[in-house]
Chain A
Amino acid sequence: MPRWVRHRYASLVVLAVVIALLPLLFPSSYYYRVAALVWVSALAAIGLNILMGKAGQVSLGHAGFFGIGAYAVAIGPTHLGVPPLASLLIGAVLSAALAYLVGRPILRLKGHYLAIATLGLGVLVALVITTEIRWTGGPDGMPVKKLVVFGWRASGADTWYWITAGMLLIGTWLALNLDDTPTGRAFRALHDSEIAARVAGVHVDRFKLQAFVIAAVYASLAGSALALMNGFVNPDQAGFLHSVEMVTMVVLGGLGSVIGSIVGAAVLIMLPQALTVFQEYEHLLLGFLIIVSMIFMRDGIVPMLAKLPGRRA
């Protein structure tokens, strides 16, 4: 493998080139929309991957934070008169605060118990969104006002393609940087063995909480971006199935691999779009492909592909 491939930012450069060149292949604005959807999902998946892949903690309720971000930009401008951009930041701060408060007690749990506790958190957020009809429109969702920054209105699929791509690049860059920081190393240490990490002087509780908060902020920002792009939010975005979808993206792409999360998100967003030609066989094929790819690529798509050249040598 050439040396430049191993450089930390190689994948970031590749991603930037792909983002820049992809629109040349797009015949219609529908493709811009799907691609923007991939970037948004990838952003949330990268955050979750920092928690799951790097720090080794499970979350089955991550769509809750996604929902908080989405509803922040819906409720802020509509009910409270807060500008969309400020609402986006408020959503991120709220998500971080909730992750911090709830994370303190529940991150002491391990394995399946952590899974059920985070699942409960996600369900609670979805429940509040569904029942507070006055604020959130209940199960039917609510419209979101357009993003206006200094008089410039962000609308149209191509505009949002570039906005979400920019967010994804920043998110990817930060996540890639994490690897070589003391925090990133601490995450890896507590992933491999919590006891060993503790013995080596890593403040385990603090770093778990940090990973949880980082992941929550990523999800919240992705949720805000999606809501502003769609001009509409509904409670499904905070629901259990969306949490499961996010976990599937991370695992399918490869735990711990930042690029893997983008690939996983791309696969899970584009596959249903591609499978719609099969109409009612769509779910059947989607489930089948998930099973087959997990059996044959059990470490995920990207780690599996990364191993290939080494094996031949």
Chain B
Amino acid sequence: MAEFFQFLVSGLTVGAVYALVALGFTLIYNASDVVNFAQGEFVMLGGMVTVFAHAAGVPLPLAAILAIVVAVIVGISLYWLAIAPARGASAVSLIIITIGASIFLRGVAQVVFDKQFHKLPSFSGDTPVQMMGAAVQPQSFWVIGGAATVVLLLYLFLERTLVGKAVLATSANRLAAKLVGINTATIMALSFGGSAAIGGIAGVLVTPITLTSYDVGTLLALKGFAAAMLGGMGNPFGALAGGLLLGLLEAFGAGLSQLHLQGRVRLHRHPRRAVRGAAGPVRRRAVERV
């Protein structure tokens, strides 16, 4: 039972991050039909900027806000400088552009920051909380709570504000949205910015647990994309469910099979390799689902 709860919490924590990345995919896909493979780079930026601002003496909350602002600026620039000029290109070409953008951003991060792994201090200490016989890191609450807050705010934004409704209208039918006077280009730029903000927040929240480096984005984009597809591309609730399901499947898959258990033990030393190792049962599931 204690083990079950342990897997549950770690699955939900990782799943919340995947859900945020998937949500970012969904937001951009709905507004502009672009599958943005640079989504993971927003998460990377969120983590890296916070780490370096914090190291430079900026208080943690301020550093986090700065990181999210940087991610948003990058997201909006990505739309205006790379996606908007290529309007009318085929879907595959646009995907290659976002892949180019992700390589570019990784290259920038490599130059501006460095190639090391970095850690942030946990927001409220490292003393594990005992719950149902399992030891839960306080940062897990931050990740799950933060993700829930983002989802709630996004929901309120989309349903209760005029701009949010314009985003929904654009994703429902771009031509019709244009005809009723919505500036669809601005809305698309906005959705890139919003999606970058969501990615940045995910990066800030998860860095104390998983560490960050200039190249964490690739794997997160892969997982986020898988989560978005698992839930059904273009559906925000699907993205949420897909992300959580993927996280839970990974945690339980890794916990229950001896082979992957070894991979998890290695998690702290080789985060990328271990997560890749944990992906097995989930991939197979993803294939079955679709």
Which residues of A approach B to under 8 Å, CB–CB? 52, 58, 106, 109, 111-113, 116-117, 119-121, 123-124, 126-127, 130-131, 139, 240-241, 244, 247-248, 251-252, 255, 280-291, 294-295, 298-299
Interchain CA distance A248-B94 in the complex, whole Å:
11
A124 touches B97 (CB 8 A): no
Partner of B276, one of A106, A130, A244: A130
CB distance from A238 to the nearest CB of B (A): 12
Interface centre among B107, B226, B277, B284 (most CB of A within 10 A): B107
B107 touches A252 (CB 8 A): no
Interface flag for B111 (CB, 8 Å): yes
Other contacts beyond A106-B287, A120-B283, A290-B104: 10, CB < 8 A: A111-B91, A130-B273, A131-B259, A241-B218, A247-B92, A248-B99, A287-B105, A288-B104, A291-B104, A294-B89
Query: Contacts of B86 on A, CB cut-off 8 Å?
Result: 294-295, 298
Interface flag for B60 (CB, 8 Å): no
Interface flag for B82 (CB, 8 Å): yes
B: contact size bracket:
35 or more
CB contact under 8 A between A117 and B290, given known A112-B35, A123-B283, A283-B106: yes
Interchain CA distance A121-B91 in the complex, whole Å:
22
Partner of A290, one of B97, B222, B287: B97
Instruction: Tell me the nearest residue of chain A to B85, going by C-beta.
Output: A295
Instruction: Supply 9 A–B pairs (Cβ within 8 Å), ascending by A.
Output: A112-B35, A116-B229, A120-B286, A123-B222, A127-B279, A287-B104, A290-B96, A291-B82, A294-B89
Query: Contacts of B279 on A, CB cut-off 8 Å?
Result: 123, 127
A290 touches B103 (CB 8 A): yes
Interchain CA distance A240-B223 in the complex, whole Å:
12
A286 touches B284 (CB 8 A): no
Query: Contacts of B102 on A, CB cut-off 8 Å?
Result: 287
B280 touches A290 (CB 8 A): no
Interface flag for B192 (CB, 8 Å): no
Query: Contacts of B103 on A, CB cut-off 8 Å?
Result: 283, 286-287, 290
Instruction: Tell me the nearest residue of chain A to B105, going by C-beta.
Output: A287
Instruction: Tell me the nearest residue of chain B to A255, going by C-beta.
Output: B92
CB distance from B57 to the nearest CB of A (A): 26
Q: Mark B266-283, 1 if CB is under 8 A from A, else 0.
A: 000000010011011001
Main secondary structure, interface of B, reads helix
CB distance from B33 to the nearest CB of A (A): 10
Interface flag for B183 (CB, 8 Å): no
Interchain CA distance A139-B262 in the complex, whole Å:
14
B290 touches A248 (CB 8 A): no
A240 touches B222 (CB 8 A): yes
CB contact under 8 A between A244 and B226, given known A280-B110, A291-B82: no
Interface centre among B37, B108, B287 (most CB of A within 10 A): B287
Interchain CA distance A139-B104 in the complex, whole Å:
26
B104 touches A117 (CB 8 A): no
CB distance from B243 to the nearest CB of A (A): 14
CB distance from B224 to the nearest CB of A (A): 11
CB distance from B105 to the nearest CB of A (A): 7
A287 touches B100 (CB 8 A): yes
CB contact under 8 A between A109 and B92, given known A284-B108, A288-B104, A291-B101: no
Instruction: Tell me the nearest residue of chain A to B285, going by C-beta.
Output: A120
CB contact under 8 A between A283 and B96, given known A116-B225, A291-B101: no
B107 touches A281 (CB 8 A): yes
Query: Contacts of B37 on A, CB cut-off 8 Å?
Result: 244
Interface centre among A255, A283, A288, A289 (most CB of B within 10 A): A283
CB distance from A206 to the nearest CB of B (A): 21
B100 touches A131 (CB 8 A): no
Instruction: Tell me the nearest residue of chain B to A293, going by C-beta.
Output: B100
Interchain CA distance A182-B37 in the complex, whole Å:
37
B233 touches A124 (CB 8 A): no
Query: Contacts of A284 on B, CB cut-off 8 Å?
Result: 104, 107-108, 110-111
